[in-house]
């Protein structure tokens, strides 16, 4: 039913398996050694067209801005907001936000 492998084919198969094992181990070590950007990035972008009207509160001197920023951070698993401002760093809207978006910098994650 099964054909036995020649000694040369068996040796090639062992070498191939060893190479795959080493490559897999090296890939795993490399993946674990890379830092995670999600853990360190605590800046959230709130688009102006989100439908909730947050942009009115996040404008300068608005009393409800801190409340909205804190709620947004806590809803995404972070601590209280450390600050908020218009998103002027992205004039091309490459981050997917709409013109007039706001960025909120949050505190450490809530456990």
Express each pLDDT in 30-88 by its tens digit. Answer: 777 765 544 456 888 888 777 777 777 777 667 788 888 888 889 888 888 888 888 87
Q: Count CB neighbours of 41 within 10 A.
A: 10
Its pTM stands at 0.53
Alpha-carbon span 108 to 111, nearest angstrom:
9
Those residues with Cβ within 8 angstroms of residue 13's Cβ, 6 or more apart along the chain or in another chain = 5
Highest mean pLDDT among 14-28, 33-47, 90-104: 14-28
Those residues with Cβ within 8 angstroms of residue 43's Cβ, 6 or more apart along the chain or in another chain = 103, 104, 105, 106
Phi, psi of 109 (to 5 degrees): -65, 150
Alpha-carbon span 50 to 62, nearest angstrom:
18
pLDDT band at 100 (very low <50, low <70, confident <90, very high): confident
């Amino acid at each position: 039913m099964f054909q036995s492998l020649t000694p040369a084919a068996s040796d090639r198969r062992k070498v191939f398996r060893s190479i795959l094992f080493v490559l897999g181990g090296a890939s795993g070590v490399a993946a674990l050694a890379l830092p995670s950007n999600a853990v360190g990035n605590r800046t959230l972008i709130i688009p102006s067209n989100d439908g909730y009207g947050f942009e009115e509160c996040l404008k300068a001197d608005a009393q409800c801005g801190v409340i909205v920023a804190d709620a947004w951070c806590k809803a995404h698993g972070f601590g209280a907001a450390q600050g908020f401002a218009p998103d002027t760093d992205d004039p091309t809207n490459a981050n997917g936000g709409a013109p007039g978006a706001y960025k909120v910098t949050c505190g450490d994650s809530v456990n």
